[in-house]
């Protein structure tokens, strides 16, 4: 009954191991439960979104200083054993998704251009920049799903099971045709390898994209 301050629990491949949050003395306590019992590994002043880093005993935690803003402004990883945290990102972003091997994480960042553009940034486990895409405009269905990305991730993942492709739906900015000259190009499913010097590659029309997820 005291579980509060989060949107969805986090699970792993380990039987009986999961994480949730609970309100404790005016803060949100992040708790990892296992067959051996429960352990508080961190506390926060606001609600949190979290998931386990694949194949690691670490929780990834998204926080924001202003829950009404609709964006996060800090992404960190917390070691379950020690509670030690390291910051991966400290600027606005709206969602994150770990590569299946846990060695890269993709975040979706607003480009601050004022035209609805976002970019995908790929970071290493220490927060170092690996690569990024040019700005693009996510589809309406994708934008809707982003508001609940952690919940959707339990049933649909942008990464395929091999980690070779990251899928997202939207359009490149140059795809938008002025209404004076015709209808705009529709949303496309686009694939990205999250490797340096690669671009989002359209493969067909579609309003949302994803694969069956693997659990950390």
Domain boundary residue, one of 43, 72, 92: 92
What are the pLDDT digits (tens) for 130-150? 999 999 999 999 999 998 998
**Are 59 and 103 part of one and the same domain?**
no
- Same domain (yes/no): 73, 135: no
Pick from 207, 131, 135: nearest CA to 172:
135
Distance CA(189)–CA(140), nearest Å, equals 13
pLDDT of residue 182: 43
2 has a pLDDT exceeding 80: no
Q: Domain limits at 19?
A: 1-92
All residues at 6 or more sequence positions from 181 whose CB lies less than 8 Å from its CB, including other chains:
none
DSSP structure class, residue 210 = -
216 touches 98 (CB < 8 A)? yes
pLDDT tens-digit map of 9-24: 899 989 999 999 998 8
CA 1, distance to chain mean position in Å, is 27
Q: Model confidence at 185, in pLDDT bands (50, 70, 90)?
A: low
State how beta strands 166-172 and 136-138 pair: antiparallel
Q: Clarify whether residues 135 and 215 are in a common domain.
A: yes
Interval 41-88: pLDDT, tens: 999 998 899 999 999 999 999 998 887 778 999 999 999 999 999 999
């Amino acid at each position: 009954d005291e579980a509060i301050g989060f949107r969805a629990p986090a699970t792993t491949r380990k039987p009986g191991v999961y994480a949730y949050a609970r309100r404790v003395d005016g803060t949100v306590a992040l708790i990892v439960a296992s067959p051996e019992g429960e352990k508080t590994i961190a506390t926060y002043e606001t609600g949190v979104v979290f998931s386990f880093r694949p194949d690691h005993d670490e929780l990834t935690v998204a926080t924001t200083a202003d829950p009404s803003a609709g964006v996060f402004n800090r992404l960190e990883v917390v070691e379950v054993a020690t509670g030690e945290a390291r910051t991966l990102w400290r600027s606005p972003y709206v969602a994150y998704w770990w590569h299946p091997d846990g060695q890269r994480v993709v975040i979706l960042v607003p480009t601050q251009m004022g035209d609805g553009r976002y970019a995908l940034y790929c970071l290493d486990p220490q927060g170092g920049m690996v690569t990024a895409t040019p700005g693009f405009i996510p589809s309406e269905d994708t934008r809707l799903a982003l508001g609940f990305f952690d919940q959707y991730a339990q049933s649909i993942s942008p990464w395929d099971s091999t980690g070779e492709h990251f899928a997202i739906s939207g359009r490149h900015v140059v795809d938008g045709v002025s209404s004076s000259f015709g209808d705009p190009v529709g949303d496309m499913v686009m694939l990205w390898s999250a490797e340096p010097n690669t671009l989002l590659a359209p493969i067909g029309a579609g309003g949302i994209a994803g694969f069956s997820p693997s659990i950390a």
